[in-house]
Structure 1
Amino acid sequence: MSLLDQLNQDMKDAMKKKEKQRLSVIRSVKSLLQNEAIKHGAELSEEDELTVLNREMKQRKESLHEFEQANREDLVEKTKVEIELLKVYMPSQLSDEELQQIVKETIEEVGASNKADMGKVMGAIMPKVKGKADGGKVKQLVQTLLT
């Protein structure tokens, strides 16, 4: 089942159950995916869909951070719920052990030996873990392993 089919099914379910916030998030994501497809002039690949979902997740995490700094508890709770709702459509996240293994293998592949090689390592890793690991977490792990 494609992501749009899943969103349509979940949207119907949310309407029946009168889950307003879930319905709002689903509609938002569905709209963004459709706009992206129109922009590309073709149906989106799974990778393109994942890019849109990642962008939305990142945006909400940044908003959450801002709301927490501003002590806006009402918006913090709303954003946390939206993040949890979005996670349903994201691929499962890599465990710390799996991520560390991928980072170690990639460091060996590119022959990195110090922090100056970090850009090469990150460029090689990110396509491998796209949507499956947080970029900040990957960066931190690469920095640790390159010292």
Structure 2
Amino acid sequence: MSLKEQITEDMKTAMRAKDAARLLTIRGLMAAMKQKEVDERIELDDVAIVGIVDKLIKQRKDSIAQFSAAGRTDLVDKESAELKVLEGYLPQRLSAEEVAAAVAAIVAELGATGPGDMGKVMAAVKAKLAGKADMALASAAVKQALSR
């Protein structure tokens, strides 16, 4: 079963269970997926869907940080619940050590030497680790690898 089919089935399950919060989150995800399909005139595959889920998760984390700073615990709780639902659609993530090892291999493969090569290395890292690793963690690993 593809990820798109799984999301559709989860939406139906949430409807039947009358789980309004979960349903709202899944509908938001499906709207983002549909928007991408319409804008780019493509059929999304699992990799593209994981990219959309990653983007939505990043938005939720940013919102949680902003709401926490403003003392809005009600909104923090809502965003946290949405974050938990969205994280259920991500594949198993690589650990920090695995990301660092993959980044080191990419740096060696490209022959990158310093901070000036950051863009070139990050492009390769995004291509290889998309959906498998947290890009903020990968970016930190690239910075560390290039500062040596």
TM over 0.5: yes
Give the fraction of aligned pairs with identical amino acids, expressed as a percent.
37
Residue 3 of structure 1 and its aligned partner are, at CA, apart by: 2.3
Structure 1 window deviating more from structure 2 (52-61 vs 33-42): it is: 33-42
Q: CA deviation at 1:128?
A: 1.0
Aligned equivalent of 1:17: 17
Confirm or deny: 8 A CA contact 2:4 2:49 kept in the other structure.
Answer: no
Over the residues paired in the alignment, what is the CA RMSD in angstroms?
Answer: 1.5
1:1-147 paired onto structure 2 within 5 Å: 1-147=1-147
Q: Please give the TM-score of this superposition, normalised by the length of structure 2.
A: 0.90
Structure 1: distance between partners of 2:4 and 2:121: 34
Partners in 1 of 2:68 and 2:44 — Cα distance? 34
* Structure 1 residue 129: Cα displacement: 1.1
Q: Which amino acid letter does the alignment assign opposite residue 85 of structure 1? A: V
CA deviations over 1:78-136 (Å, ceiling 9, x no partner): 11111110011112111122111101100101111222222221111111111222222
Deviation, 1:52, is: 1.7
Paired with 2:143 and 2:32, the residues of 1 have a C-alpha distance of 34
Alpha carbons of 1:145 and 1:85: their partners in 2 closer, same or farther (altered >3 Å)?
same
Q: State the secondary structure of the residue aligned to 1:83.
A: helix
Moved more, 40-49 or 95-104: 40-49
Higher relative contact order by CA 8 Å / sep ≥ 6: 1 or 2?
Answer: 2
CA distance in 1, matches of 2:31, 2:115: 41
Structure 2 SS opposite 1:109: helix
1:146 partner letter: L
Gaps of 5+ in 1: none
TM-score by length of 1: 0.91
What stretches of structure 2 of length at least 5 have no aligned partner?
none
- Give the residue type in structure 1 aligned to 2:129: V
2 CA distance for matches of 1:124 and 1:40? 23
Alpha-carbon distance in 2 for matches of 1:24, 1:11: 9
Question: How many pairs were matched up?
Answer: 147
Point out 4+ residue stretches in structure 1 off by more than 3 angstroms.
none
